[in-house]
Amino acid sequence: MRETHLPFSPPLIGQEEIDEVVDTLRSDWLTTGPKTKQFEQDFARFTQAPAALALNSCTAGLHTALVAHNIGPGDEVITTPLTFAASVNVIEHVGARPVLVDVEPDTLNIDPRQIARAITDRTKAILPVHFAGHPVDLDAINALAEENNLCVIEDAAHAPSAQYKGRMIGSGDNPTAFSFYATKNMTTGEGGMLTGSPEFLEQARVISLHGLSRDAWQRYDEKGSWKYDVVCPGFKYNMTDLQASLGIWQLRKLESFQQRRVQIVAAYQEAFAESLAFQLPAEREEVVHAWHLYVLRLLPNALPISRDEFIQEMKKRKIGVSVHFIPIHLHSYYRNKYGYRADDFPVAHDNYQQSFSLPLHPGMTDQDVADVIHAVREIVTQCRRKRGAAA
């Protein structure tokens, strides 16, 4: 057994990030300024996006995109129940109704066939989530949007570096929100990025900073002007140069981070491939998976313990695990407001009850990976011995 706890997903910060932050602290700009602009340009180049807007969270990106599309009271937005609450909360924030539809059994991404059945005259947008870093079926979703005059706003919190049919996630005109939270594939501590067309992001930029016609850098730079206008009641969603300082270097390291994630996933997949206790994560041929999460599903009746008991056994062995996610329709706010039952979305609900996520981050050593594999195998072996003894 390990002597120390293995964290589920800590950030990996190097001296380069530290030096960049110190450089910012010694400069004239701490808030949105030249390094934020550089980070936006670097990220747009990396994702092959038309343009990028740095924000203080992925949530801010989703909210800003909904506002920019004039989605509000009386409108409906179709999304997935198997996501973090932020994806759905933003729909509530603009006064629209979130319409949940079930997920695909293999990828756990929103099911385009279910989307098609849920479209009404009030539907204004589809908000798909690239669950765990596996891209959704964008061709099918975009086709539905085009047929029904809907916008698509992608939640790519898990999906920097992911690709769909040779195209980087975020490279199209769909507004696409990325997360740089501390547990994500790259981090700025807190922070996010919204990609999309330059014209759309010009509007989103105004919305994201109080509705001002000029940001602080434009007003307080030596060539700037103090004059500005408030053109809409916007929000305070801008990223700071301190955050961007981290992001500049994290982005430069993202390719190597991703390579390490793929190595760890390969070790997991090989180790558990023959196990009759688990369903392994899927990766379709047409995608490049970002592998933000490695989600194992404990098959029904495979072991004489529940998913929650399995997690407790992992914790006893000092392995940090988590669950992604408690479905939206099980949370009291959404359950009470919309009258959801647990079995309304059976694929999402059943897989939630079976799922747990193993540690997956580029700071893991080969020994860390081996410890995780050993712990999983040991629990399975012990459970089967107990079952055999009981029989």
The per-residue pLDDT for range 316-365, each reduced to its tens digit, is: 999 999 999 999 999 999 999 999 999 999 999 999 999 999 999 999 99
Residue 347: the pLDDT is: 98
The fold for domain 254-390 equals: Aspartate Aminotransferase, domain 1 (3.90.1150)
More confident residue, 67 or 215: 67
Q: Does the active-site annotation cover 315?
A: no
DSSP H or E run through 52: strand 51-55
How far apart are the C-alpha atoms of 111 and 98, rounded to whole Å? 16
Bridge partners (DSSP) of residue 288 are: 163
Domains in the chain: boundaries? 15-251, 254-390
The single-letter code of the amino acid at 365 is T
For 42, 54, 133, 219, 306, the CA distances from 155, given in Å and listed in that order, are 20, 15, 10, 32, 31
* C-beta neighbour count of 225 within 10 angstroms: 10
Q: Indicate the Cα dihedral angle 322, 112, 148, 63, nearest 10°.
A: 10
pLDDT value at 23 more than 80: yes
Residue 218: the pLDDT is: 56
* C-beta neighbour count of 155 within 10 angstroms: 30
Bridge partners (DSSP) of residue 167 are: 164
Residue 27: the pLDDT is: 96
- Return the SS3 of 37: helix
The per-residue pLDDT for range 218-236, each reduced to its tens digit, is: 555 566 667 788 999 999 9
The per-residue pLDDT for range 143-178, each reduced to its tens digit, is: 999 999 999 999 999 999 999 999 999 999 999 999
Sheet containing strand 76-79, edge to edge, reads: 97-100, 76-79, 123-127, 151-152
Residue 202, token pair as written in the block: 């010009």
Using CB atoms within 10 A of its CB, is residue 15 exposed (0-12), middle (13-18) or buried (19+)?
exposed
Tell me what percent of the residues of the chain surpass a pLDDT of 90: 93
How far apart are the C-alpha atoms of 99 and 76, rounded to whole Å? 6
What mean pLDDT value characterizes the chain?
96
Catalytically annotated residue among 35, 124, 165, 184: 184
How far apart are the C-alpha atoms of 288 and 269, rounded to whole Å? 16
How far apart are the C-alpha atoms of 33 and 241, rounded to whole Å? 6
Selected from 3.40.640.10, 3.40.50.150, 3.40.190.10, 3.30.200.20, the CATH number assigned to the domain covering 15-251 reads 3.40.640.10
Residue 1: the pLDDT is: 84
How far apart are the C-alpha atoms of 208 and 353, rounded to whole Å? 37
Phi (first) and psi of residue 298, to 5 degrees: -75, 115
Residue 228: the pLDDT is: 84
* Contacts of 147 by beta carbon, 8 Å cutoff, 6+ apart: none
Residue 124: the pLDDT is: 98
pLDDT value at 217 more than 90: no
Query: Using N-to-C axis directions, what is the helix angle for 86-93 and 58-68, rounded to 10°?
Result: 30
pLDDT value at 391 more than 50: no
Residue 385: the pLDDT is: 82
Residue 216: the pLDDT is: 47
Contact (Cβ atoms closer than 8 angstroms) between residue 215 and residue 32: yes
State pTM to two decimals: 0.96
* DSSP output for 115-137: HHHH--TTEEEEE-B-GGGPPP-
Residue 225: the pLDDT is: 66
Sheet containing strand 287-288, edge to edge, reads: 167-168, 163-164, 287-288
Bridge partners (DSSP) of residue 176 are: 154, 195
